[in-house]
Every structure is written in C-alpha cells, then in structure tokens.
Amino acid sequence: MLAAGAAAPAMTPSVLRAATEGPRPPTIDELLAEPHLRDAAISPDGEQLAILRTQPGGDGKTTAYVTLSRMADLSAPPAVVKLGEQKAQQVEWANNERLLIWITFDADDRGRPYGVVFYGTFVPIPVRRVVSVDLEGKNPVVMFSGTPAVLRRGFDASRVVDFVKDDPRHILMQAWNESRGAYALYRVDVYTGEAELVEQGAPATDYWLTQDGVAMLRVDTNARGTVGWIYGRAPGEKDWKLVRRSRFNELKKFPDFDVVGPTPRAGVFLVCQRPEGRDTRVIRTFDLATLEFGEVVAERPDRDLEGAFVDESQRLVASAYWDDRLNYHFADPALAPHFRAVNAALKNACNVQLYDIDTDHRRLLFRTTGPQEPGAFVVYDRERKALEYVGHAKPWLSPDRLARTEALRVKTRDGAEITAYLTTPVGAGGGPLPMVVMPHGGPELRDTLDWDTSAQALAARGWLVLQPNFRGSGGYGQAFADQGRRQWGDRMQADIEDAVDHVVTAGRADAKRLAIFGASFGGYSALMGAVRRPQAYKAVVSVAGDADLLETLAFSRREDGADSPAYAYWRGSIGDPKADEAMLVRASPARRAAEIAAPVLLIHGTDDRIVDPRQSRLMAKALKTAGKGCELVELNGEGHNNWDAATWKTVLEKATAFIGERI
C-alpha cells in the first residue's frame, strides 16, 4: 500500500492531457458545448466499466452511445450500445449483469413530439425513461414496460430510489400514479421492466428514502419547492410520523436534516446536520424508532461537512468537505493514502471526487474537475496502485486555453480574514487588467477552486474575475455564516469591497475598469455594490437578483406562509419587515436607484419561483424614473437558474457584450 507521501501511482496512459492547441481562449459556444463524455460507472464486482459518450455529427446533431469494457483490459474493443440522437444523461449498474441507461425522448418513434396542450397551445415536454441492457449491450428493456399506464401518463419515469441490497433483480423507482394523482413507489424488475406498486405517496410527496428496499423516510414539499415535510417510520411500522418541517437551501437540501443514506442498523440513517452547540455540520446517526440523533461518525473542526459517500452495503466510505479544493474524511483510514496518491498523480491541480466504487473497495472511479478542467474520469486500482485514464468531458478545452484561478487571503477593514478566488486570463501580462467582480449566490453558498463556466467566459474576454467568499458564505461553519445575518448591503458588501481593494492595491486590477456581475444573491450584491460605490463600476449585471428586500420578505411570507421555516430563515437572514424597516430600505437597491451611476443590465426568468421576476421589473422602473441607464432582458418561460445551454448562452452573451462595451 502507498504510504502517505509515497510516489504517485503509475498512469496508464497518462491522465495529464497534453495540450493539442494553441492558447486561444474558448468561445461561449465551446464552453457550453455538449460534453463528449457524460457519465461512467463501475459494476459491483469491479469487472466492468460503462461509459456514456456523445459524438457530434456533421449535420449539427449529436448521437449518444455507451461503451462496455472489461476492467482487466480497458484498451480492448468494448461492446457498444448505440442510442442514436436521443439524449442520454446517466448510467448505473443494477447488478453485475444489467446496466441502466437514463434517456430523454423528445418525440415518439413516428417523430411526433411529446407534450401537452395548455389553453389551446401545444407545449413540448420531453419524457424520461430508464432502459436496461445486458453485458453485450443487447436485450434492452424499458423500465415500467409492463405497466403501460405509468409510461402513458408519466413524463418522468426515471427516478430510481434504491438499488435493493440482497435483491439484484429489482430496483425501487418512483413514478406518477395517474389514478391517485400523486407519485408512487414501485418495485421494478430490471430483466423484464415489470413493476409492482409498493407504496402510494400523498399529493405533495416529492421523494422517498429507503433501507433494504423498504420506504423509511418520505419528503413532501410545498408548490414552490422551498419547504419540506420529512416523515419517517421505524421498521415494522405502517403509519408515517412527522420528523420535522424544514426549508430547502439553495442546493435543494435540508440544511438541518440532509439525509446521507442508510446504515447497516435497521431504522438508522446517517444525517448531515449541525448539532446544538457546535459550529460545523457533522455526519451523525438518526434513529427512526426514537426520532433522536445519535453518535457523530464524522466531523471537521473548521469546515462544514457537505455530504458523504455510502456504498451498496450501506457502509460509510467517506465524508466530503471543501477547503479551497474538495477533500474527504475516510471512514477507513487505509483509503486516505490512496486518495492522496491520486491527487499527487494529478499534480494536486483538480478536485478529485469519489464517484463510484466496487463492492470490495478494490477499484474506485473518480471524477476530476478544476479551474482548468471541466471534467474527466479516472479509475484507480488499489491492488496495482495504478491510475487509468477514462476520458475528458470536453477534450477541446485543453488547460493552456483556460484561465487559471488562485486563492487569495484578504484582510478586511475590521481585521477579519476572508478567502477570494482570482481568475487570470490566458496570456495576461504584468500590468493591471480590467476586472469583473462576481459575488456568489445564496448568500450561504461559497466559491471554490473548481470549474466555473461563467468565470471562464469572462476571463476569455481578457478580464480578471474576482469571487470573494464574504462573511455570510457557507462552508466555514455557522459562526462565519451568521456574520452575514442582517448584514445585507452592509458587512457582506464591505467584504466584497475589501477584496476588490486588495487586488487593485496589488497592482493587478485597473481601478478605472471594473464591472460587477452576479446571479441570485450575487445579482442583489451587484446592484448594492453600485449603490455603495457609484463611481467604482463601469457596468453592473444582475441576473435574477433581489432589488427590494421588503418585497423579498413579503413574497416569501405570501408564498411560503408566515409560520414557515423558509420565511423564518429569510426574516432572520435579511431582517424583520417591521422592526428593521429602515435598515431594509437602506439595503434595497430599488429604493436607492438614484444613487447608481453605472449602466445596469437586468436579466430574469419570467417563471422564476425563487426570486420574483417583479424584483427586476421594480429595479428597471426605479432606474428609469431616476434617469439612469438600464436594460431589462426577460427570459420567457425560464425559472431561477436551472437553464439549458441555449439560455445560458443568451445570458453569457448578453452579459459579456454589455460589460465589454464599458470596460
């Protein structure tokens, strides 16, 4: 076994990609193009590797296919499953004989598009299915093929809930039950596609969590997707008990009850949460019989744990956390030196994500990403201490074409220290450069040294990109996050300003050529930055950002309910609309539009249910009333941020053009 600090494992062939092109910065089209390698999976016995690939055609269309290779010889010709022009998203092994492939269909076999007629207008809606194939890529079976009512009425019949331990023939899936008007849980045969109803959900049920093929936790959500009701039941119980009601955070997780997975103990799950009196989120047990938390099984003293990897035997393998890069706390200490060796082989330049593992923990599949790596897969063999290259998601984006990112430690005006990330364009000289400040969303999210399409798109224009983790960001513990509470427009903005000053003072950024661009909370922050420093920025771009905090609170109260955990969170984070009204007025860009000097671009989806589109309309009206330059772009039919490549292209092209004309 490799000891800590041992030499890196052999690479077969080299994982480190050689540059094949000159250092021409990528275009937005290249950054958003369909990846050539989308997914990969190792069979439970570690003998087979499935890779989902795409291939662009000369006619502009993309075809998808899956290769099935024996791990003993990845260089041998693989079996190939051709999927044609269908969109495939994912592969996963149901057992050692059957592979599942997730496919989206836009039209039936006659070319007729799927969709619904809504008020006399046909609205196309693609359908999602799961197909099972054998080791040769043959004998395909569509899950639920023996239950035509599910396929006929359900657009999404692709949600796998559980790969049932000790029953390799079946998986648990959820699908829409038209007769009950709600989701239901089914046991599905991966060899025949036949399904058996095992659990009926309530009208608001969103998903289940299971143990050994039995539903043990159920999550119901409100229509807006901001509040969830978590129900549980112990082994042998039939009735559901309310465990808690909680808000979803920006990552669609429960911050106080993020279920990681089951344990080998009946009725006991692993949950990521912050115990009372502790600063950071830990992994601990939760017993459904007593509805009480138990022992802490993983923790970090200075970082929040963000999740964990649980294997098919329900054993905790590793708990994840972020420093500047992704790191793991391994339940089995013997795995840690192997993880360090893989990082060393990759020159510690990427985030190495534990993606899949075989039953014996002999072969591990890693997905790597980083500022100069949009995604790649490698396989590590513990016995041979060898790392084998699988492929890159976007091989045309070679590292020499991509901007590098570094971590900065910034002293704030009140003596605290924050981290910021600075992306430098390819070929940048020594003189000060124009810079785009890009505060993150949340606000309790954070930036890291990872792949960022927006940062690369901005850097490709020759601009520095600064991403500060201001106080109020997530990941650093509750005390750090709490320093941003009731500080919208104040301390969080001051930290961003201090990070800007840090880069300008170092002579790296041109103080006369600054812009600010953000989405969601970052969009709010961009607007507020223009209020606080009217002469600092030459261009301001807010994407789906709040502009009037009193309206933000009123929207949450109206949509989520005055007694909801979501409204309680926002009232605590932003302020109380009655007691703090004066503060909220001062922190609302729409109420201070006359103080903004820079031209503003506002972009917002018309169907955004997280930040009301009215926010951008209010801001546009306030700016125009004040005689300020403003452009409002509404994305018809789009939500908050879950956009396809075409919409992202529109956003990035609009933003870079707007900024480029001014800095």
User: pLDDT, tens digit, for every residue of 310-327?
Assistant: 998 999 999 999 999 999
What's the whole-model pTM score?
Answer: 0.91
Instruction: Decide: residue 605, CB within 10 A, 0-12 exposed, 13-18 middle, 19+ buried.
Output: buried
Domain count, the chain: 1
- With respect to residue 127, please indicate whether it lies within any of the assigned structural domains: no
Q: How many CB atoms lie within 10 A of CB 326?
A: 21
- With respect to residue 368, please indicate whether it lies within any of the assigned structural domains: no
Nearest residue to 516 (alpha-carbon basis) of 488, 486, 539, 544: 539
224: confidence class by pLDDT, cuts 50, 70, 90: confident
User: pLDDT, tens digit, for every residue of 417-442?
Assistant: 999 999 999 988 878 999 999 999 99
Q: How many CB atoms lie within 10 A of CB 372?
A: 19
Average pLDDT on 97-103 reads 95
Quote the domain boundaries for residue 459: 403-548+588-660
Helix axes 521-532, 491-505, angle to 10 degrees: 70
Q: How many CB atoms lie within 10 A of CB 393?
A: 23
**Whether the Cβ atoms of residue 540 and residue 527 lie closer than 8 Å to each other:** yes
DSSP 424: E
Average pLDDT, the chain: 92
pLDDT value, residue 282: 97
Q: CA 78 to CA 462: how far, in whole Å? A: 43
CA angle, residues 61, 62, 64, in degrees to nearest 5: 150
pLDDT at 661 over 50: yes
Max CA distance (Å), the chain: 70
Q: Residue 336 is which amino acid?
A: A
pLDDT at 2 over 50: no
| Residue 590 token pair | 């729409």
Beta partners for 88?
103
**What percent of the chain has a predicted confidence (pLDDT) above 70?**
95
User: pLDDT, tens digit, for every residue of 112-142?
Assistant: 777 777 777 777 777 899 999 999 889 999 9
Specify the range with the lowest mean pLDDT, choosing from 8-17, 336-345, 368-377. 8-17
pLDDT at 7 over 80: no
Region of 340 please: left (phi>0), alpha (psi -120 to 50) or beta.
alpha
Could you tell me the CATH number of the domain that includes residue 604?
3.40.50.1820
109: confidence class by pLDDT, cuts 50, 70, 90: low
User: pLDDT, tens digit, for every residue of 149-187?
Assistant: 776 666 888 999 999 888 999 999 999 888 888 899 999
**Whether the Cβ atoms of residue 493 and residue 528 lie closer than 8 Å to each other:** yes
Q: CA 614 to CA 619: how far, in whole Å? A: 8
User: pLDDT, tens digit, for every residue of 465-509?
Assistant: 999 999 999 999 999 999 999 999 999 999 999 999 999 999 999
Q: CA 436 to CA 161: how far, in whole Å? A: 42
pLDDT at 20 over 70: no
Cα radius of gyration (the chain): 25
3-state secondary structure of 509: strand
User: pLDDT, tens digit, for every residue of 563-620?
Assistant: 999 999 999 999 999 999 999 999 999 999 999 999 999 999 999 999 999 999 999 9
pLDDT at 6 over 50: no
Average pLDDT on 386-403 reads 95
pLDDT at 14 over 60: no
Phi, psi of 644 (to 5 degrees): -85, 175
Q: CA 209 to CA 267: how far, in whole Å? A: 11
23: confidence class by pLDDT, cuts 50, 70, 90: confident
Length of the chain: 663
Specify the range with the lowest mean pLDDT, choosing from 18-22, 295-299, 372-376, 543-547. 18-22
pLDDT at 365 over 90: yes
pLDDT value, residue 298: 96
Average pLDDT on 2-21 reads 42
Average pLDDT on 256-264 reads 94
pLDDT value, residue 153: 65
